[in-house]
Structure 1
């Protein structure tokens, strides 16, 4: 059975609670013929507990993976569609049978919401700073408060009053936990993740997510990412907490504007996920947390969840198999027992067609197992006796045969529970389940559910050996074709709206209505694109930009602030012939700010900085606008220059060396180019090339 141990205390992690509404959606998907891998993977990645279970099973000995994975999508690929469906269903069943008080569920919902925002924010920061495993950062964010769920399961009475104080004492919450329980949720969560044996710093990131920035400067990037994302996703006032924002600047050289922009994008992405689950548009990062989930809605979700599971009748955990191979079917059975009961030690013995022998389906490829065959007439074998009498037996209650003892040894157990499998009156076989004297009382309490599951195994195996079932839903390829066809008329409608807007005066009241309809059509198009490809990025917001006006405004701003600190003299050399062009203004602004800040920080007092703009720059047959930022500072050493845009240690005290990595990422996101020339006698010059998109139609697709 699943436990973790910390500070001489044992914590059960057998059944972490999940959000009921999400399980309702997932159960619908699991029993829809047209559900596909992408639909399930998107939904599963929203939930902490299911993600944890997916990783646990995918990294278990059943799949014999050489390298343990922390990537959710890779884990789903390892498991396969059928096993994903099985895990979802069995987790739902466990949720339904777990006796949580009604008051716990709102806390579970808020933990889930915070984790969702944290995951999206961590992923965004990871991409921005050039961290090579953004999926790992997403997972770290999703798991950052999983320790709270463990404490809810194990210390409900003492932990519930503490959780009630979370939003009023967010910054001191870990101290409050340690004061009352002698342990905090970060330690518990880290211990749980550490028990999975992952080759990752996720456990450390969770444990040290509230560490001061100074203590994290030499730590792996993942720890820094979660240290920024965790606090900023803690409540709806976090964006106004200058200490949290300064932490991002200290660890990643991010300005407040850019980290707030990252948070806004994370909230919007989380909002879409929330909307997909059927919640209203209210969201805790912008509204009162306590009103995000209405009580009636939550009760309705629990009732729907109960109805779903009652409809499934607890026996459809095997779902509809997509293969007709007994070995794969046995692996499905093993997955279900691992998910539902945390039992990995079992063998499936099938009866031969002539009903004379019980032989193992050797899905684990154990050579010794192939040599053991039970004769139906063996009166000494408990396994055979269980089959003949249609009655489950435990090996510790009777002596059993030598073959029974060999099975127990191969199961690496103290005892075995032999469970006969029948479909109506037809004998299917026997499941031999490994157990111990200590575990048996707990397993015995689950016998009714085991019996229901055995009936379903018998039914599915009977069907499996007689026919091949084929799914009849729309394939992913067909869906993509339909989505493409739907997108075409949406584009035409949007173009007509644009033409209509041109035909009427700018101040006409209908302009606002046209704009609203156009935005809604664009939103529908984005939903279709995301449905076709869940990895698709939301399109960058482009607008007309007057580059000279932008550079002049920034220079004026810095003259009264940043330049003053070192008596820096700045000059502007702007090409007045540059027309306005379409660009992501906020990102362009952040690029210029970061480069100027890097230059000023590297220079001594009384130096100069020159900012220039030029039109009609051609590269690879494409027209660009150039921005040049040149300083008279000390220059950059050659060994640093060759890795300038990679996330490396900075030569500037107190910085992580990620400022220019962020610049490079932002330049790529606006389809631009950046280069650097530096000489230790002549200073440094950065040149940024921005596509000269004078028409919105010229903006390259992202």
Structure 2
């Protein structure tokens, strides 16, 4: 295995990847389009290798990944979410525009971009042709196959640009890379994918795409696909592929069964698709035969003479750049929800802006007046065990916070003042030293941002310490604003809860008396009615319903979820009792035909009888309201069903109404905002779902627009109660 030299790893670790500005501009537009879907975002991101690598790198970070393997753009974008994507897009766009203005990125990526997209398209087509199980993975591997070139260019700048400029093609470049760098772009690209910890051959496909044909025939399927796509695209400039295959195309045919005729068809189709995309983005790619990034302005003519005026303009440009950066970030950070989300966005933004890959946070524990590591995924757990007193003599971290200015172990004269705690933090981050930026709002100490840096990285960042400090101030303000809003909301919630409890107790007291009077009156009336009227059962059921309503009212003031009385009940019996009481109100009186199919001799269910009554009441009420002009409702039960391997009873409640609206189906069984459906509280189905869960069951819904809705409930039967 080829090892990447430490100096090269240090250069590429910050993942400074130049992107096509046209794609970045489109990406920035789509992220701020409220109507754009994740599929729209994925389509744009998938048009640029550098942008795809950035998204997957952030999505696969321990802070966001959460144990799930992210190997597709769709997955990555869902993990990041729209708000974090907006922040990243703003940082990337600002970095790209101002870096190009300053002359830091003067490379034309058009040929590279076109080659990467063609290989991606070809890889996807080949994968589908040979029945590879994941064509999306093949597309991504093809898109990333030369990403190492951008990593080296972003990390090493002009020193690598000279190698690119002196190489006619990738083969020549690879030889020069190995002789002068001790590694090459295939190994660097594979290193990046390895950082994502994928159980995939994607890294190998990138690493092997320049291997000899004699070796590739023994490689895995994905490596053969990407290698073949690369070879097929390389032959496009040699004229149309004839029926006679070249030696390399013969290997493609031997390994994957793709003939020279197939190759010609694939080349034409893929080229047409990429040309259409280029035209839509206003990119002139047809005349670019060189697939390597190259100097847009000849290298030897791009070194302007420095004078006082140029230095002044550079400083002015830096000020304007910093102002634009802070303004954009402030707008995006203000739209984030939660301290964790803000901290994650701040960390990823800092990585983009300052090119430092290892960043941590120490927050002040107000009760102890000490600094300690934040409980944040992707941050060394060791930092949480630190207890740094807010004393400038304890560490540079405390000094930076108290003195309100950045401090680093590389500062002149700082080596003696750096404490063992600073050494521990640097070791935890795996770096030579650290740079601390204070997080402070007015007199409020929030904490410090910790940048793990090498001496070379700090030398590069040092002229921008003013921006580092302003960025930390912005982060501190965002965190403090959110904390103030959280505290205010908690205070308001406490006040509202106290007021609600007082009103609820009054309601319970006032409602309890008439309910008790009504129940007693029903008992008196029941005794006076002759037995031949056969209404005593209905009167008993009505009394039970009054008890259930009384219990619901009392629950308004119950501080804890007091366990309700449970027992065995017969599903069919409860349905019949509820129909006797509410059948006329919900169905017959509304012109709704009732169809009933209750399987006899069902085993009993264990749980709260009143909970099942409430489930039926809500479902029937919803069905009745959905059919104001009349219709049909069907209620059925059957046994011998299984729920997670346990014998269960199934209850169907279906209607012939218009079906559920799309917005209800999207958040089924979750409370709707009351204004979404006028006349509805918006919580009926959420109550049903919670009651089914309380009974240990499960509920689902089958819905067809214009043909009604069908709710299916499974309730586990009582153990040891076989069917009669």
- SS of 2:17's equivalent in the other structure is coil
Contact 2:363–2:371 (CA under 8 A) maintained in structure 1: yes
1:264–1:432 Cα change, 3 Å: same
1:388 aligns with 2:402: yes
| Equivalent pair of 1:114/1:235 in contact (CA under 8 Å) | no
**Per the alignment, do residues 235 and 109 of structure 1 end up closer, same or farther by CA in structure 2, a change over 3 Å counting?**
farther
1:505-524 paired onto structure 2 within 5 Å? none
Deviation at 1:329?
1.8
- The match for 1:268 is 272
Partners of 1:179 and 1:414 in 2: CA distance: 28
Report the alpha carbon displacement of residue 109 of structure 1 after superposing the two structures with TM: 2.0
Query: SS of the counterpart of 1:418?
Result: strand
Q: Which residue of 2 aligns with 1:336?
A: 349
Q: Paired residue for 1:224?
A: 224
Residues 124, 136 of structure 2: 8 Å contact kept: yes
Compared with structure 1, are the counterparts of its residues 444 and 255 closer, same or farther at alpha carbon in structure 2 (3 Å cutoff)? Answer: same
Q: Is 1:90 paired with 2:91?
A: yes
**Aligned-residue CA RMSD (Å):** 4.7
2:324 aligned partner: 312
Bigger CA radius of gyration:
2
The aligned counterpart of 2:262 is: 258
Going from structure 1 to structure 2, the CA distance change for 1:370 and 1:231 (only over 3 Å counts) comes to: closer
**Partner Cα distance (1:161, 1:410) in 2:** 35
Secondary structure of the residue that 1:234 maps to in structure 2?
helix
Q: Is the 8 A contact 1:116 1:142 kept in 2?
A: yes
Normalising by structure 1, report the TM-score.
0.53
1:130 CA drift (Å): 1.0
Aligned to 1:206: 206
Contact 2:39 2:74 in 1 (8 A): no
1:419 to 422, 425, 437: 437
Matching of residue 431 in structure 1 with residue 449 in structure 2: yes
Is the contact made by 1:205 and 1:226 (CA closer than 8 Å) also made in structure 2? yes
Aligned to 2:11: 12
Q: Distance in 2 between matches of 1:450 and 1:442?
A: 12
Per-residue displacement from partner, 1:266-296 (whole Å, max 9, x unpaired)?
Answer: 23332343344343xx642xx5658999989
Question: Measured at CA, do residues 186 and 444 of structure 1 come closer, stay the same or move farther in structure 2, by a change above 3 Å?
Answer: same
Shift of 1:357: 6.7
The answer to whether the 8 A contact 1:4-1:192 is kept is no
1:113 aligns with 2:127: no
Cα deviation 1:551-570 (Å, max 9, x = unaligned): xxxxxxxxxxxxxxxxxxxx
Distance apart, 1:50 and its partner CA: 2.3
8 Å contact from structure 1 (residues 57, 335) kept in 2:
yes
Is 1:143 paired with 2:161? no
Which residue matches 2:475? 457
Alpha-carbon displacement from aligned partner over 1:123-161 (angstroms, at most 9, x marks no partner)? 111122111122221122112222333454547467547
Mapped partners of 2:438, 2:112: distance in 1: 42
The residue that corresponds to 1:663 in the other structure is none
Rounded to whole Å, the distance in 2 between the matches of 1:391 and 1:20 is 35
Q: Please, which runs of 5 or more residues in structure 1 have no aligned partner?
A: 297-304, 469-702
The answer as to whether partners of 1:232 and 1:239 remain within 8 angstroms in 2 is no
Q: Secondary structure at the match of 1:324?
A: coil
Q: Give the structure with the larger helix fraction.
A: 2
Go from structure 1 to structure 2 and tell me whether the alpha carbon gap of 1:77 and 1:288 turns closer, same or farther (over 3 Å shift).
closer
Question: For 1:502-554, what per-residue CA distance to the aligned partner results, in whole angstroms no more than 9, with x for missing partners?
Answer: xxxxxxxxxxxxxxxxxxxxxxxxxxxxxxxxxxxxxxxxxxxxxxxxxxxxx
| TM superposition shift of 1:397 | 4.9
Show the counterpart of 2:615. none
1:231–1:238 contact (8 Å) kept in structure 2: no
1:346 to 347, 360, 366: 360
Tell me the distance in 1 between the aligned counterparts of 2:426 and 2:179. 46
Rounded Cα–Cα distance in structure 1 between residues aligned with 2:480 and 2:359? 23
Change (3 A) 1:214 1:290: closer
* Cα distance change on mapping 1:160 and 1:90 into 2, 3 Å: same
Q: What is aligned with 1:579? A: none
SS in structure 1 at match of 2:405 = coil
TM superposition shift of 1:218? 3.0
- For residues 113 and 9 of structure 2, the distance between their equivalents in structure 1, rounded to whole angstroms, comes to 24
Which whole-Å CA distance do the structure 1 matches of 2:143 and 2:102 have between them? 24
Q: How does 1:686-701 map to 2 (within 5 A)?
A: none
Most deviating of 448-457 and 372-381: 372-381
| Cα distance in 2, alignment partners of residues 81 and 191 from structure 1 | 28
Alignment partner, residue 528 of structure 1: none
Q: Equivalents in 1 of 2:294, 2:17: separation in Å?
A: 20
Unaligned 5+ segments in structure 2 are 298-316, 487-724
Deviations 1:457-505 (A, max 9, x none): 133224323459xxxxxxxxxxxxxxxxxxxxxxxxxxxxxxxxxxxxx
1:39-188 matches, cutoff 5 A:
39-63=40-64, 65-66=66-67, 68-96=69-97, 105=106, 107-150=108-151, 152=153, 154=156, 156=158, 160=162, 163=165, 166=168, 185-188=185-188
Quote the residue 2:696 is aligned against.
none
- The more displaced of 262-271 and 222-231 is 262-271
The answer (yes or no) to whether the contact 2:361–2:449 under 8 Å persists in 1 is yes
Deviation of 1:423 after TM superposition, in Å, equals 4.6
User: What is the DSSP-based 3-state SS (H/G/I as helix, E as strand, rest coil) of the residue aligned with 1:346?
Assistant: strand
Whether the aligned pair in 1 keeps the contact of 2:119 and 2:230 (CA below 8 Å) is yes
Q: Matched residues in 2 for 1:178 and 1:85: separation?
A: 38
* Conservation of the 8 A alpha-carbon contact between 1:19 and 1:47: yes
1:221 CA displacement: 1.0
Q: How many residues align?
A: 452
The structure, 1 or 2, with the larger RCO (C-alpha pairs under 8 Å, 6+ apart) is 1
CA 1:310/1:360 → structure 2, altered by over 3 Å: closer, same or farther? closer
* 1: CA distance, partners of 2:381 / 2:194: 33
Normalising by structure 2, report the TM-score: 0.52
Query: In the alignment, which residue of structure 2 is the partner of 1:362?
Result: 375
* Counterpart secondary structure, 1:240: coil
- What's 1:516 paired with? none
Distance 1:204 1:311, change over 3 A: same
Cα distance, 1:40 vs structure 2: 2.8
Structure 1 contact 48–112 (Cα < 8 Å) conserved: yes
Shifted more, 89-98 versus 11-20: the winner is: 89-98
